[in-house]
Structure 1
Amino acid sequence: MAIKSFRYEQVINKIEETITGLQLQPGDKLPSVRKVSGELKVSLTTVNQAYAILEAKGSIISRPGSGFYINTVSKNVLTTRRFIPLPENVEVSSMAAAMMKNTNKYSVINFSSLSPINEYLPITRINKAMQASMKEDSNIYQYTFLEGHPRLRKQIALQSFDWDKSIKQDEILITNGCMEAINLCLDAITKSDDIVAVESPVYAGILQCLESKGLKALGINMDPVTGLDLDDLENALNNNKVAACIFMPVCQNPYGCSMPEENKIRLVKILGERGIPLIEDDALGELYFEKSRPLPAKAYDTYDNVLFCSSFSKSLMPGFRIGWVAAGKYLAEIEKLKFAENISTNGLLQDAIARFLESGNYQTHIKRLRQFAKKQACQYRNAILKYFPEETKITEPVGGYSLWVELPENVNALTLQREALKFGIGFCPGQIFSASNHFQNFMRINCCPMWTTRIDDAFKTLGKLVRSIGNRQV
């Protein structure tokens, strides 16, 4: 079919493809009517009508004298769902473990695990670094230092060089991934039956940690754009004896949002003045979509009250499980717990990562990984909007690997998951992101699998299943 004979719908599809190809985000300006007219070889009237339809759908907005922009408030954009914060006993481990086991066993397309694909990992360079480690450093065959390899700790400290409150090398303890860092922090500052404030929704692994230690979760409401609701947090702290908080201020999982700078400063102040420790989970902080990532809350910590936990699992080598914690005044106690737990972390892998960081290639790699993550999120989001029911709502992440999807109210995500596994499709149902069994009609989609027609077909199948389940409940 010649381009001249495009109908309005086809022009709209072409415009939406342009949005995806250019990786445009809410607030970005669209190509002018005249430019689209010239590129598609259709009349100005046709383009104006196509833009008018997109504006009526809420996808774009017009600004007189300026042009058309992607709408920052779309009817398909997730809004805050509020709950009354109450301390809850956590019972998600069995559900989460069964979900992951079934996904690994039956799914061919895995939308569950947040892990960068091999094609975007510097495997060749890391292999060379490992070979150099084995050739040049005989100490890697022995137990490494309890606190971690000095070479790696130095490189991690350098990453905070431009912070007002930078981290010193001797303040860092290397761990087996970010989750061990968080576990050690909890063991150091809490005891059984204590209340720990967490985000709602929150990464299921955090809830599993709390459950294993007999801790209670206090869910704090989240805004899909600005993150943690600080007014809600203050009210919760005034009404509950909270022992600690675990929050993700940058690239939160599952929302993909980041707190504004002033909110992070206020968060540190709220908790610092009350003497309530903040365990900051920064596992996804490097995956911010723009050129430079926002600073973590730790960078504003004038109270020595933030236990900063991060890792290279989401940004460099998932299988290495190399993480770290900068715990300030709590570090000595955490070191004792680390020694009792497993003595130290793999020295060869630490040295290999340190050598890669020293090479200067890390930032180039991160830039490429951010571009990949941003493009994937855009493609996945467009597919969900295309194939799922019209009332479906989705977050607009600014970083990370995930989309948080609100399904029609009569669609239970666990039912959908069971049905999807029959077609070899796995994802995380919303129920495992809350201690209170909230988010029953929500799902988290991992955007890591490389976009192909196979992925597109999987979303088409999921969309059909959502409609089918919804129709059964009518």
Structure 2
Amino acid sequence: MKNTELNSYLYETIAAGFTQQILSAVLITGDKLPSVREICRQYKVSMSTALQAYYLLESKSLIRSVPKSGYYVSYTPQTNALPNQSNPSLYIGNENTSDIVSKVYDGISSDHIMLSLGVPAAALLPLPKLNKALTHALHTLNENGSGYEHVLGNPKLRRQIARLSSSWGGKLTENDIITTAGCTGAMLQAIIALTKTGDTIAVESPVYFGILQLALSLGLKVLELPTHPETGIEIEALKTALRKNKISLCLLISNFSNPMGGTMPAEHKKEVVRLIEHYHIPLLENDMYGDLYFGHDRPVNCKTFDESGLVILCSSVSKTLAPGYRVGWLTPGKFSAQIRQVKFAAAISSTTLTQEAVADFLERGRYESHLKKLRTTLNHNCLNYMEAISKYFPGETKVSRPQGGFMLWVELDAKVNTARLYDQTIKRNISFAPGRMFTLQNQYNNCLRLSYGLPWTDQINHAIKTIGSLIR
């Protein structure tokens, strides 16, 4: 291992240790941290490495520097309890929520503080470098990028996606990947290929509203299953559902789920793969948020443990790099012929220019550097958003504790109706996502989702304070 890689690992390890002590209240606001020289002696590292560890903690707003005095803890851990594990009814829900979804997304405006949008702010994206990559693609592609791609997608992009799969234990090749128009395009093509009208799919609850809208538009039935805010779908509930119901497809967001933010432990992912293999039911795994982890290592996914080809992994750069480029992909596994046929019938090929631009960005090694900065910023945002909720919302408020991604799930007193609350906040140019959007059943009316993809500012602090005041 090179010295630079070793130093990088050491300063992150030191910072992670202090982070854990602060978040578990072993260290509390006002406590003085060891001096830089003490860190050097204790961990046997250089002054530069010790300072990097403290700079990283500062960037997350966990500590502050006091001139001529040292470093002090500045973050107070939130005291809010976790939201309850969901408990949806076991009947097939069919209460269409398209009206409330349309209300929220028709209200998108540059004048509003969009805490409802599940995408990173443009300020967090490497737009100048992406523009250069797009210009380069325009000048180097045959026919200036105006021609069709191969039905599987841009070969260079597929090679880069295959290379990055090693971060979660994947052993993909470019031929294992089909590019799509974003992750939604990937899910749509897989669902069309593997289901027919009237079939039942099993999902987490609450679940991303886009999945519900897709299912309804294709005439599918949706079985919502109990989900824990930290560990994802309840395995026993999934076992029972597979045993008692005729399910055609399971669809899960295994890492930093939308909207709850939970991550299935690796053991649960192994068990899910074992279950689908036993019942021979395909799993469509959405892993758009997996690269946005706050810890030291990227979490694995269900595809990591797939040996049968039943797991179809789908992802995109929409949540990490360029939402509007609509560059996504999937690994079709044993269903390659069916999904390839659907893609050809629906789109013939993916967008040429944006695929090439993303491929160029990845090939030059810029993606990993960008992700590192983005993860640090999102972690910083998450801590500040949670602290503001703890400060401004009623004391009985429950808040999720995601370890990555950029979604917070907030559970309020049962008397609060967040759809009506939205009507009040939007008049003040503040938008959030009411919990009712994330189910086809009459539940989560007292919940809401906040995105911390917007940089932390006084304006954001005031917006959260305003929501809290309206709740009170």
TM-score (norm 2): 0.84
3-state SS in 2 of match to 1:147: coil
Preserved contact between residue 242 and residue 279 of structure 2 (Cα < 8 Å) = no
Shift of 1:77: 2.3
Pick from 294, 305, 308 the counterpart of residue 303 of structure 1.
308
Q: Which residue of 2 aligns with 1:170?
A: 175
3-state SS in 2 of match to 1:245: strand
* Runs of at least 5 residues in structure 2 that lack an aligned partner in the other structure: 1-15, 36-72
Residue type at the aligned position of 1:184: Q
Alignment pair present for 1:437 and 2:442:
yes
Shift of 1:130: 1.6
C-alpha separation between the residues in 2 aligned to 1:24 and 1:421? 38
C-alpha separation between the residues in 2 aligned to 1:25 and 1:237? 42
- Report 1:147-186 matches (<5 A): 147-161=152-166, 165-186=170-191
Residue type at the aligned position of 2:195: T
C-alpha separation between the residues in 2 aligned to 1:225 and 1:422? 33
Q: Which residue of 2 aligns with 1:220?
A: 225
Shift of 1:341: 1.0
3-state SS in 1 of match to 2:384: helix
TM-aligned CA distance change 1:23 to 1:108, over 3 Å:
farther
Shift of 1:93: 2.1
Alignment pair present for 1:238 and 2:211:
no
C-alpha separation between the residues in 2 aligned to 1:293 and 1:34? 31
Q: Which residue of 1 aligns with 2:57?
A: none
- Report 1:174-213 matches (<5 A): 174-213=179-218
C-alpha separation between the residues in 2 aligned to 1:32 and 1:458? 25
Residue type at the aligned position of 2:108: N
3-state SS in 1 of match to 2:226: strand
Preserved contact between residue 120 and residue 369 of structure 1 (Cα < 8 Å) = yes
Q: Which residue of 2 aligns with 1:35?
A: 32
C-alpha separation between the residues in 1 aligned to 2:165 and 2:21? 30
C-alpha separation between the residues in 2 aligned to 1:443 and 1:32? 29
Pick from 93, 118, 141 the counterpart of residue 114 of structure 1.
118
Alignment pair present for 1:345 and 2:350:
yes
Alignment pair present for 1:335 and 2:332:
no
3-state SS in 2 of match to 1:84: coil
Alignment pair present for 1:427 and 2:432:
yes
Residue type at the aligned position of 2:459: R
C-alpha separation between the residues in 2 aligned to 1:192 and 1:109? 39
Alignment pair present for 1:380 and 2:410:
no
TM-aligned CA distance change 1:240 to 1:129, over 3 Å:
same
C-alpha separation between the residues in 2 aligned to 1:267 and 1:291? 25
C-alpha separation between the residues in 1 aligned to 2:238 and 2:154? 38
Residue type at the aligned position of 1:115: V
Preserved contact between residue 406 and residue 452 of structure 2 (Cα < 8 Å) = yes
Preserved contact between residue 314 and residue 331 of structure 2 (Cα < 8 Å) = yes
Preserved contact between residue 77 and residue 387 of structure 2 (Cα < 8 Å) = no
Q: Which residue of 2 aligns with 1:290?
A: 295
C-alpha separation between the residues in 2 aligned to 1:189 and 1:37? 58
Preserved contact between residue 381 and residue 455 of structure 2 (Cα < 8 Å) = yes
Q: Which residue of 2 aligns with 1:462?
A: 467
Identity %: 36
Preserved contact between residue 165 and residue 301 of structure 1 (Cα < 8 Å) = no
Preserved contact between residue 178 and residue 310 of structure 1 (Cα < 8 Å) = yes
Q: Which residue of 1 aligns with 2:70?
A: none
Q: Which residue of 2 aligns with 1:131?
A: 135
TM-aligned CA distance change 1:210 to 1:278, over 3 Å:
same
Shift of 1:164: 5.1
Preserved contact between residue 197 and residue 219 of structure 1 (Cα < 8 Å) = yes
Shift of 1:286: 1.1
3-state SS in 2 of match to 1:159: helix
C-alpha separation between the residues in 2 aligned to 1:106 and 1:407? 28
C-alpha separation between the residues in 1 aligned to 2:110 and 2:376? 30
**CA offsets per residue over residues 367-395 of structure 1, 9 Å max, x none?**
11111111111111111111111111100
TM-score (norm 1): 0.83
Shift of 1:321: 0.8
Preserved contact between residue 402 and residue 444 of structure 1 (Cα < 8 Å) = yes
Shift of 1:88: 2.1
C-alpha separation between the residues in 2 aligned to 1:458 and 1:24? 30
C-alpha separation between the residues in 2 aligned to 1:168 and 1:28? 45
C-alpha separation between the residues in 1 aligned to 2:278 and 2:77? 35
Preserved contact between residue 112 and residue 445 of structure 1 (Cα < 8 Å) = yes
TM-aligned CA distance change 1:345 to 1:28, over 3 Å:
farther
Shift of 1:331: 1.5
RMSD: 2.5
TM-aligned CA distance change 1:433 to 1:348, over 3 Å:
same
Q: Which residue of 2 aligns with 1:11?
A: none
Q: Which residue of 2 aligns with 1:96?
A: 101
Alignment pair present for 1:366 and 2:371:
yes
**CA offsets per residue over residues 326-352 of structure 1, 9 Å max, x none?**
011112111111111121111111111
C-alpha separation between the residues in 1 aligned to 2:279 and 2:309? 13
Shift of 1:36: 7.5
3-state SS in 1 of match to 2:353: helix
TM-aligned CA distance change 1:27 to 1:265, over 3 Å:
farther
TM-aligned CA distance change 1:264 to 1:93, over 3 Å:
same
C-alpha separation between the residues in 2 aligned to 1:37 and 1:164? 37
